[in-house]
């Protein structure tokens, strides 16, 4: 996902007097099948270096603390996020992709710090 000025402005908006921020969601013609209902199950591929795993773990904590999104280690779910570093570059689809069991999120060399 590429950040633009509009998204950055929304993310930096001050909360209302109640302390809440307005939530924005991406919805497509396949909604609600394209969202994760009970948290996002994830798994780390064995090819990820420890520094990438630490960076991803910190990023997931950040999202959990600042949004309504939650993550949980995969148990036996057939649909899950697979953090991998097999390819160069950083990429993923937006939302839940049900076309394959494991939805890859590629974190190539240089994508973590």
Residue 100 lies in a domain: yes
Domain around 54: 29-107
Q: pLDDT truncated to tens, each residue of the chain (113 aa)?
A: 555 666 566 666 666 665 555 555 656 667 777 778 889 999 999 999 999 999 999 999 999 999 989 999 999 999 999 999 987 888 888 778 888 899 999 998 888 77
- pTM for this predicted structure: 0.71
Name the token pair of 1: 């996902």
Residue 21 lies in a domain: no
Task: Give a yes or no: residue 91 inside a domain.
Answer: yes
**Considering its fold, how many domains does the chain have in total?**
1
Q: What is the 3-state secondary structure (H, E, C) of 62-89?
A: HHHHHCCCCEEECCCCCCEEEEECCCCC
Strand spans (E) along 1-113? 40-44, 71-73, 80-84, 90-91, 102-107
């Amino acid at each position: 996902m590429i950040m633009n000025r509009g998204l950055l402005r929304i993310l930096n908006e001050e909360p209302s007097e109640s302390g809440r921020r307005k939530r924005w969601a991406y919805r497509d013609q396949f909604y609600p099948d394209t969202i994760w209902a009970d948290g996002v199950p994830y798994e780390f591929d064995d090819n990820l270096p420890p520094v990438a795993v630490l960076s991803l773990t910190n990023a997931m904590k950040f999202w959990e603390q600042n949004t309504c999104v939650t993550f949980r280690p995969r148990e036996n779910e057939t649909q899950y996020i697979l953090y991998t570093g097999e390819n160069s570059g950083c990429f993923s689809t937006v939302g839940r992709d049900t076309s394959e069991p494991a939805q890859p999120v590629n974190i190539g060399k240089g994508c973590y710090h």
